[in-house]
Amino acid sequence: MTTAIYPGSFDPVTVGHLDIIKRAAKLFDNVIVAVLVNMEKKPWFTIEERTGLLKKATQGIDNVEIAGFDGLLVDFAAQKGASAIVKGLRAVSDFEYEFQMALTNRKLDDTLETVFLTSSAENMFLSSSIVKQVGLLGGDISTFVPEEIKDEILLRIKQRSQMK
């Protein structure tokens, strides 16, 4: 049985992430979507909120599990018996950063392979930062995020805009 980890900040999950999750779920027996800490980012949502949003967005996909972990990705993967890390790749700009992370993770654990799935063409531009930026400036984010969690994201955008 092959288990893959799809790690990320997911702050919040977008339709681009969901597309990668669905496609990874067809390739692997089990996919664990792991909300991890990116020390470079200041998240809007707590790990618990992000896992909650992911659970709602992935309801009905049988072989997908959601988890949060505050530590090294390779340690989480070992704990779960995973053999692969799945990452979505949008454009050339993602490559250097993703390549560095893949090589770091392989250096830390050479039994783990990173598998890149290219983003769908319609999601090439999309990121969690774009959702937050467009939302904060009053733009329509309804096609950027899964319908089931749109209202929760809009509520956080409203709260953040009141902090400005």
Closest approach, Cβ 144 to ligand PNS, in A, equals: 16
Using the minimum distance from each CB to ligand PNS, give the nearer residue, 105 or 123.
105
- The catalytic residue positions are 17, 41, 90, 128
Q: Answer whether the bond into residue 43 is a cis peptide, omega within 30°.
A: no
Question: Helical H runs in the chain?
Answer: 15-27, 47-57, 73-80, 92-108, 128-136, 150-163
Closest approach, Cβ 138 to ligand PNS, in A, equals: 25
Q: 146: closest CA among 124, 164, 126, 161? A: 126
Using the minimum distance from each CB to ligand PNS, give the nearer residue, 38 or 63.
38
Q: How far is CA 50 from the centre of its chain?
A: 9
Closest approach, Cβ 21 to ligand PNS, in A, equals: 13
- Residues in touch with ligand PNS (CB under 6 A): 7-9, 36-38, 41, 72-73, 101, 104-105
CA gap 103, 79 in Å, rounded: 20
